[in-house]
Structure 1
Amino acid sequence: MPVSRIAIGGHEEFRHPGALKAAVAEFISTLIFVFAGQGSGMAFGKLTDGAPNTPSGLIAAAVAHGFGLFVAVAIGANISGGHVNPAVTFGAFIGGNITLFRGILYIIAQLLGSTVACFLLTFSCGGMATGSFALSAGVSVWNALIFEIVMTFGLVYTVYATAVDPKKGDIGIIAPLAIGFIVGANILAGGAFTGASMNPAVAFGPSLVSWSWSCHWVYWAGPFVGAAMAALIYDLLFIDQSHQPLPSTDF
């Protein structure tokens, strides 16, 4: 059982040079990702006089987030594992691939990266507001919760299959691309309903900067539940139970 491999770690990890470097890498990767993704929505809104919720706007968001995440994961992979998402970090923790304390450090860095990216966007765009995540008309919180669970399940399952699985072999080379693709595809599927966050950090930064918290809990609960399900199912069914947990320096 993966739960038996869960490691708590210790508070000394908050001062460990390797852990701190990994946290900085997560901060930078998340900043780059959110700046590109959130910035694309703001740019499209400016070009369309504040009407980004169109089919072309959805495609633009999917492309920008897919490309941005591909780069963000790739540049962080060799340092922190390129999580760029508290839900991915939580999924890695559930599978015994990162300690609790190191995971907390990652999540703090990811939230800070998203927040700084949104502040930079607001400043650079002359005070233009960042767009916080919100539910579309006719979409209940329970509809949105299921959407976020399923989409994040697909994302974390992809992470496990291409980056975590010890048997991944050469497919690990395309992990950043596969992860970027699944996020882009999920935005096309769920963007018109919930905004398709799949990432609490992506939802947190814009909400903090714009101070808009409507149904914000959905963007934490959904991704964390989806991530836990993906980690448990993939680990139990497809990972050799005799394997040792991956060193945190590898993921």
Structure 2
Amino acid sequence: MPGHTEYFNPPLRRVSVGNSDEFRQPDTVKAALAEFISTLIFVFAGSGSTMAYNKITASSPATPAGLVAASIAYGFALFVAVSVSANISGGHVNPAVTFGLFVGGNITLFRGLLYIIAQLLGSVAACFLLIFTTGGLETPAFTVSAGVSVWAGLVFEIVMTFGLVYTVYATAVDPNKGQLGTIAPIAIGFIVAANILAGGAFTGASMNPAVSFGPALASFNWTNHWVFWAGPLIGAAIAGIVYEAFFISHSGHERLPGGDY
């Protein structure tokens, strides 16, 4: 209709399944390897900082000083992990981010599954490396804190992950981001650091199923583990749908290649 401006884009219209041949494409394999390495770097630094704090202070990381230390470590580590893999895989470093981009049609299902497998393996490898290098110290698993209901913890993870994936869309995915894209890794690291300060005392502020999966497997502590999958995936899906439906415009732009921001 002439002169008509589209303010609402039907969500999920760009979702793509792809095909199994993607598993054998060299660029996809390289991208998955980049996700494995970047997730390993992120989890090793993040979980390692928590283990170091526990060893040095012999106290819970859910203290003001512990939360600040975790916030800085995870925020800086994510900034680096996203930066070093952004030009190869898009720098997801998080199954929730990958799922949120899939919902928005920015990565295919098959490529996304390969990313998620690589992210989980990277987290597991990081945790077992930490156990080996620290002489057998336990990698602390994410749990819902005492006095916090499971459902409150779930909502915390949904809201925090929504903020994270919304930031990814606004600074890295949106075709109209312009120069804002250059600070995407910083913005992503900052929102994770801020969310740790906000929710760390309640759920540990995972926002990332891979970050939760590695320590849970290494310590074999699965208490309320489902919260750290359901919350991030729901929050990521909502963020992807909202941004794609109301804010992003693909008119006049080519579709983003699978895996690229």
What TM-score do you get using the length of structure 2 for normalisation?
Answer: 0.94
RMSD: 0.9
SS in 1 for 2:76: helix
SS in 2 for 1:5: coil
SS in 1 for 2:245: helix
What TM-score do you get using the length of structure 1 for normalisation?
Answer: 0.98
Aligned residue runs from structure 1 range 14-163, under 5 A:
14-163=23-172
Structure 1 residue 187, shift from structure 2 partner: 0.2
Mapped pair 1:171 → 2:172: no
SS in 2 for 1:135: coil
- Asked whether the equivalents of residues 62 and 200 of structure 2 are also in contact (C-alpha less than 8 Å), the reply is no
Structure 1 CA distance for aligned equivalents of residues 191 and 99 of structure 2: 18
Structure 2 CA distance for aligned equivalents of residues 53 and 13 of structure 1: 42
Length, aligned pairs only: 251
- Asked whether the equivalents of residues 107 and 259 of structure 2 are also in contact (C-alpha less than 8 Å), the reply is no
Q: Which amino acid aligns with 1:22?
A: A
Runs of 4+ in structure 1 displaced over 2 angstroms? Answer: 50-53, 241-245
Structure 2 CA distance for aligned equivalents of residues 230 and 204 of structure 1: 22
Q: 2:258 aligns with which of 225, 248, 251?
A: 248
Cα displacement string for residues 114-133 of structure 1 (whole angstroms, at most 9, x for unaligned residues): 00000000000000000000
Structure 1 residue 50, shift from structure 2 partner: 4.1
- Asked whether the equivalents of residues 39 and 93 of structure 2 are also in contact (C-alpha less than 8 Å), the reply is yes
The runs of 5 or more residues in structure 1 that have no matched partner are none
Structure 1 CA distance for aligned equivalents of residues 98 and 62 of structure 2: 30
Q: 1:185 aligns with which of 181, 188, 194?
A: 194
Q: Which amino acid aligns with 2:257?
A: P
Q: Which amino acid aligns with 2:236?
A: A
Q: Which amino acid aligns with 2:227?
A: V
State, as a whole percentage, how many aligned pairs show the same letter.
69
Q: 1:205 aligns with which of 210, 214, 218?
A: 214
Partner of 2:245: 236
Structure 1 residue 135, shift from structure 2 partner: 1.0
Q: Which amino acid aligns with 1:46?
A: K
